[in-house]
Structure 1
Amino acid sequence: MTSKYLQLETTSNFITKIQWFLCIGLFSFLVLNYPHIPEWQYGSFFKINGFTLLIWTLVTFFSALISSFGKNYLKGFRYHASFMTLSLGFIMSIMLFVMTNHMILLIAFWLLMGYFMSRLIGVDAAWGEAKEASKLALKYFLISSLFLSIAVFLLAYQTQDFTLNGMISKVNQIPYSITVISGICIIISAIIQSAIYPFHRWLLSAMTAPTPASALMHAGFVNGSGILLALFSTVLFTSNTLIILFIIGGFTAIIAQFTKLIQVNVKQKLACSTIAQMGFMIMQCGLGFFNAAIVHLILHGFYKAYLFLSSGENIAHSEPQSPTNITIKPLQAIAVLIYSAIGAVLFIYLTGKSFDVNSSIFLTLIVAITVGQLTYNIVKEPSLSILQKSILPPILFISGMATYALMYNGVTVLMNDMPMVHVPTSVSYLEITFGLIFLIGFFIMKLGIYRKHPWIYVKLLNISQPNKKTVLMYKS
C-alpha cells in the first residue's frame, strides 16, 4: 500500500511539473511574440492563433495550480488517481476544443468537456449523492451538446462547409430564419453549461465534488460558454439574438446575487456567486463585447480559484454577522457620486471606448456603480482618517482600472483575427428598460429591502436549492 501511494505521489509530482512547464512556456511565447502572434493551421481540423494560446496559458496555469494544491489536499483519498486522470482528460478536452476548426470535432470536444466534468463531480464513487449529482450534470451537458449539434449541422448544411472559418465567412448567405434558430440553439447550449437560470441546478448540486474539482469547475468549465459565444459571435450578430443574451444574463446576475445573500453554506454561496458572475459575462456578450467577456472569464477564474482553494480557511475564521443598514451622510454621498463619475470617465478613456450612446454605456454604468460601492465602503470606515478616505478611493480604482485596461487591450489584440468580438450596438428602448430594472434590482439588494418581505426570501431560498436527490438521500 505504501509503494502504491509513493508511486501515485511521484506521478502527481511529474504531471504537476509538466503543467507548470507548459504554462510558463506558453506565457513566455505570448509575451515574446506580442502583438504579432504567428498562426498555424493543420488542414481543416485544427488552428492555433493568439486566442488559442491565451486560453491554453490560462488552462495550464489553473490546472497546475489546482494540481499543486490537490497533492496535499487529496493525499490518502481513495479516488486520488481517478481525480488526476479525469482532471488531465478535462484539461486536454478544453485545449483541443479551443484549437479545433472542424465542427464534428468541436461538438465532440464540447461533449467530452462535459463528460469529464460530470465524472469529476461524482469522483467519489462510494457516495450516493455524488453519483446522483454526476448523473444530473451529465444530463444537462448532453442537452447542451444536443443544442450545439443542431446549430452546427443547420449552419453546415446551409453553407456546405464543416469548418468554423468557412461557416462564419458564409453566414450572410444563410436564410435569416435558419440563422435565428442556430443562434438560439447556440445560446441555449452556452447558458446550460454556464448554469444560467433556469439551468442552474446542476451547479448547485455539484458541491459533492472535492474542493480542487470545484475550483477547476468554477474557474474553468463554466467559463467555457464565453469561449463558445466568442467563436460564434458572427452568427449571434447576424441573427439579432444578442438581446436574448443581454436580458437572460442580466436577470441571472441580479437573482443569483440575491440568492447568494441568504446562503449559509460556503460552497453554495460560492456557487451562487459564480452563477451571478456568469450572468454578467453573458450580459457582456449580449452587449457585443465578447472581448470584455473573455477578460471577465480570466479575472473570474483567478478570483474563484482562490476563493475555493481558501474556503476551508474562511470557514475557520468566519463568524455570524448581523446585516448592516446602509446609511450615508450628504458629504459622503457627494464623494461617492464624484468618484463614480471620475471612474466612469477613466474607464472610457483607458479602454478606448467612445462617449457615444451605444451598448458600452451599460458597462460604464456598472463600473460607476462598482467605484461608488468601493468609495462608500471606504468613507464609512471609522478607523480611517479624512485624508485617507479622500486618497484611498482614487488610488484603488485607478490602479484597478489600469490593470483591467491593460488586460482588456491585450486580449483585444490577441482576438483581432476573430470577426465581431468588439462591436458596440445601438441602444434600444428594450435595453434601456431592462437597464433600469437591473439598476432598481441592484439597489433593492444593497438596501436590504427584500428582508422586509418574507415571501421573497422563501422564493429565493427555493430557487437556490440543489436537486433533492443530491442531498441526504443515501444516509447509512
Structure 2
Amino acid sequence: MAFDNTIKLNTVAPTTPKKPAMQTLANIVLWSLFGINLSLLIIGFNQPIDWNFDPFISITNFTILIWTTVTFFSAIVSSYATNYLTGFTYHSAFMIRCLGFTFSVMLLVMANHILLVILSWLLMGVFMSQLIGVNKKWGEAREASKFTLRYFLTGTGFLSVGLLIPAFYTGVFTITKLTALISEIPLFITLISAMCIIGAAVVQSAMYPFHRWLLSAMTAPTPASALMHAGFVNGAGILLALFATFLFASNTLHILFIIGGLTAIIAQFTKLLQVNVKQKLACSTIAQMGFMIMQCGLGFFNAAVVHLILHGFYKAYLFLSSGEEVGQTKPQQPIHLRIQPLQAFAVLLFGVLGAVLFALWTGKGTKLDSGIFLTLIVAITVGQATYNIVKEKSLSVVQKSILMPVLFMAGIGIYALMYLGVTQLMADLPMIAQPLPLSWVQLVFGIVFLLGFFLMKLGIYQKFPWLYVKLLNISQPYKRSVLMYKSK
C-alpha cells in the first residue's frame, strides 16, 4: 500500500478589504457637486448668477467659483483616499469629516447673514481639527487636534467680534447691507472690526506668529493634509475678499502687506532648514499664504483668489505625491551651485519679460500705484522658475533653450487668463481690485522684501549661526504633537 506523504494545507486566498459604503457615497456626492458647479460656472460667464434668499443666503458667480474649486479638491482627495485609507479603522469617520468640511466652506461663501458666516467659520475649524486627529488611537494626533482647535477657536473669536460690533451698531446683520453702510459707521468701530477680521485671517492662514498650528498638523493622514493645504488655509483669502470694504475704510491694508511679506520671507528661510517632506510643504504653504496676504494688502483681492486656486492645485498634488518622493529620495551631500553670468542674465531677462507681459495683458502695473508690486511678484515667480530650469543638470543647453520660452509663454498666458476670468467672476463684490497709491511704507518694505529674498537665494543666512538656530526654533511644531506619547 502506498502512502501519500504530501501534506495538504487549507489555504485561503487573501481578500481585499471591503471599502466602506460611506466612501462610495462621498465620491458620488462630491463628483456630482463638482459637475453641477462647473456647469453653473460656465453659465455664469455669460449670464451672471445672482440668487438672493434674504436675509440668509446669497449665491453669486464668486460663490460658484469657490464651490467649484473646493468640491474639485474634495473629490480628488476622496478618490485618492479610496485606496490610500483602505483598511484604516477610521476610514468612514475621515469621509464624514471631509464632507462636513466641504459643506462648511460652501456655506461660508454663500452666507449673507453674519451669524451664518461665523457659524461656517467655526465649523471649518472644527471639522479640520477632527481630520487632523482622526486617528483616535494615536496620542500625538489627539494632541495636535486639540492644539489646532485652540487656534481655530481663537480665529472664530476674532471674527465674531469683528462682525458683531458693526452689526449691533447699525442694527444690520447681512453682509450686503452692512458693507453698503460702511461709510456711516464711525472710524473707531470700523478699525476694530477690520483688525479683528485680519486677526481671523492671519490665524487661519498660519501667518507668523500663528504659524505653529500648521506645523503641528502633520499627524493628519496625507489626504487630510492635501485638503487642508489646498482648501482650509486658503479660506483667509475668501474672508478678506468678502470684507474688503472694511479694510479700505479703516486703511489697514498696509498691515496685511507687511504681515504677508514678513511671513513669506521667514517661511521661505525655514523651508530650507527642514528635512521632513511634509514639514517642507507646510513651510512652503505658509510662504505662499504670505504672498496671498500681500496681494490683499495691495488692494488686489482678485489676484489673491487666483493665487489660492493655483496654490490649491499645486499643493494638493505635492501632498498626494509626497509618499513617492520619500520612496525615491536618497541621502546625499548638499550641492553648492553657483549661477553663471549667462544664467543670471536669463533669469533676469525672463523675470522682466514676465512682468511686462502680465502688465500688458492685464493692465496692472502700468501706473505708479500698488499694481507695480503685483507685477514684481510675477517677475520673482517667473525668475524663480527660470532659475530652477537653468540650474537643472539633467537638461542640455538645447533643451533648456526650448523649455524656458515654452514654459514662460504658457505660464504667463494661463495666469493672465485666470486673472481676467476670476476678475470677471468677482465683479459682483465691491472693491476687489482697487490699487493703492504708492506710499513710503510700500517702498521701504518692498526693498526689505527683495533684500530678504536675495539673502535667502544666495544662502548668506548660513554664515550667521544665531540666525540659523532662531529660524530652526521658530519652525518647530508643538512638542506634544511629535512622538511624545505612546499610542493607546
- TM (norm. structure 2) is 0.94
Question: What corresponds to 1:266 in structure 2?
Answer: 277
1:24-35 equivalences under 5 Å are 24-35=35-46
Contact 1:325 1:447 in 2 (8 A): no
Residue 84 of structure 1, CA deviation: 1.1
Q: How many residues align?
A: 474
Alpha-carbon distance in 1 for matches of 2:392, 2:271: 24
1:279 to 284, 287, 290: 290
Alpha-carbon distance in 1 for matches of 2:454, 2:128: 36
Alpha-carbon distance in 2 for matches of 1:228, 1:407: 20
Contact 1:121 1:213 in 2 (8 A): yes
Alpha-carbon distance in 2 for matches of 1:383, 1:213: 34
Code of the aligned partner of 1:245 = L
Alpha-carbon distance in 2 for matches of 1:423, 1:369: 22
2:266 to 255, 280, 283: 255
Whether 2:456 is the aligned partner of 1:445: answer: yes
Residue 253 of structure 1, CA deviation: 0.4
Question: What corresponds to 1:331 in structure 2?
Answer: 342
Residue 3 of structure 1, CA deviation: 12
Contact 1:107 1:149 in 2 (8 A): yes
Alpha-carbon distance in 2 for matches of 1:40, 1:58: 19
Whether 2:373 is the aligned partner of 1:373: answer: no
Deviates more, 1:465-474 or 1:161-170: 465-474
Contact 1:9 1:71 in 2 (8 A): no
Residue 119 of structure 1, CA deviation: 0.9
Contact 2:230 2:312 in 1 (8 A): yes
Code of the aligned partner of 2:417 = L
Distance 1:383 1:266, change over 3 A: closer
Residue 5 of structure 1, CA deviation: 6.3
CA offsets per residue over residues 390-418 of structure 1, 9 Å max, x none? 44322211110110111111110110010
Distance 1:430 1:125, change over 3 A: same
Question: What corresponds to 2:71 in structure 1?
Answer: 60
Residue 374 of structure 1, CA deviation: 2.9
Question: What corresponds to 1:160 in structure 2?
Answer: 171
Whether 2:154 is the aligned partner of 1:139: answer: no
Contact 2:364 2:375 in 1 (8 A): no
Residue 326 of structure 1, CA deviation: 4.5
Question: What corresponds to 1:213 in structure 2?
Answer: 224
Whether 2:148 is the aligned partner of 1:175: answer: no
Distance 1:142 1:373, change over 3 A: closer
Code of the aligned partner of 1:430 = V
Aligned partner of residue 247 in structure 2, secondary structure: helix
Residue 422 of structure 1, CA deviation: 0.3
Contact 2:22 2:96 in 1 (8 A): no
Residue 285 of structure 1, CA deviation: 0.4
Question: What corresponds to 1:79 in structure 2?
Answer: 90
Code of the aligned partner of 1:21 = S
Deviates more, 1:268-277 or 1:331-340: 331-340
Alpha-carbon distance in 2 for matches of 1:260, 1:318: 17
Alpha-carbon distance in 1 for matches of 2:342, 2:226: 42
Whether 2:139 is the aligned partner of 1:128: answer: yes
Residue 67 of structure 1, CA deviation: 0.4
Question: What corresponds to 1:201 in structure 2?
Answer: 212
Deviates more, 1:30-39 or 1:301-310: 30-39
Aligned partner of residue 210 in structure 2, secondary structure: coil
Identical aligned residues as a percent: 62
Distance 1:384 1:70, change over 3 A: closer
CA RMSD of aligned residues (A): 1.8
CA offsets per residue over residues 255-301 of structure 1, 9 Å max, x none? 00111111011111111111111111111100000000000110011
Residue 14 of structure 1, CA deviation: 2.5
Code of the aligned partner of 1:283 = M
CA offsets per residue over residues 208-253 of structure 1, 9 Å max, x none? 1111111111110110011000000000010000001000000000
Code of the aligned partner of 1:463 = I
CA offsets per residue over residues 84-122 of structure 1, 9 Å max, x none? 111111111111111010001110111011011111111
Residue 385 of structure 1, CA deviation: 5.0
Alpha-carbon distance in 1 for matches of 2:96, 2:198: 31
- TM (norm. structure 1) is 0.96
Contact 1:196 1:249 in 2 (8 A): yes
Aligned partner of residue 368 in structure 2, secondary structure: coil
Deviates more, 1:334-343 or 1:410-419: 334-343
Residue 382 of structure 1, CA deviation: 5.2
CA offsets per residue over residues 323-374 of structure 1, 9 Å max, x none? 4435233333333332222211101012222411111111211222222233
Alpha-carbon distance in 2 for matches of 1:450, 1:37: 51
Distance 1:451 1:157, change over 3 A: same
Aligned partner of residue 263 in structure 1, secondary structure: coil
Alpha-carbon distance in 2 for matches of 1:328, 1:130: 43
Question: What corresponds to 1:398 in structure 2?
Answer: 409
Aligned partner of residue 58 in structure 2, secondary structure: strand
Residue 387 of structure 1, CA deviation: 4.7
Question: What corresponds to 1:185 in structure 2?
Answer: 196
Question: What corresponds to 1:425 in structure 2?
Answer: 436
Alpha-carbon distance in 2 for matches of 1:354, 1:284: 13
Alpha-carbon distance in 2 for matches of 1:283, 1:380: 28
Code of the aligned partner of 1:36 = Q
Distance 1:423 1:35, change over 3 A: farther
Whether 2:422 is the aligned partner of 1:411: answer: yes
Whether 2:242 is the aligned partner of 1:231: answer: yes
Distance 1:288 1:85, change over 3 A: same
Question: What corresponds to 2:313 in structure 1?
Answer: 302
Aligned partner of residue 125 in structure 1, secondary structure: coil
CA offsets per residue over residues 185-217 of structure 1, 9 Å max, x none? 000011001111000111111111111111111
Deviates more, 1:150-159 or 1:384-393: 384-393
Deviates more, 1:359-368 or 1:32-41: 32-41
Deviates more, 1:78-87 or 1:45-54: 78-87
Aligned partner of residue 422 in structure 1, secondary structure: coil
Alpha-carbon distance in 2 for matches of 1:32, 1:112: 30
Code of the aligned partner of 1:473 = M
Alpha-carbon distance in 1 for matches of 2:377, 2:336: 22
Aligned partner of residue 34 in structure 1, secondary structure: helix
Question: What corresponds to 2:4 in structure 1?
Answer: none
Question: What corresponds to 2:356 in structure 1?
Answer: 345
Code of the aligned partner of 2:104 = S
Alpha-carbon distance in 1 for matches of 2:341, 2:385: 17
Distance 1:33 1:429, change over 3 A: closer
Residue 26 of structure 1, CA deviation: 1.3
CA offsets per residue over residues 146-184 of structure 1, 9 Å max, x none? 111111111102222000000000011111111111110
Alpha-carbon distance in 2 for matches of 1:309, 1:383: 25
Code of the aligned partner of 1:49 = T
Contact 1:38 1:50 in 2 (8 A): yes
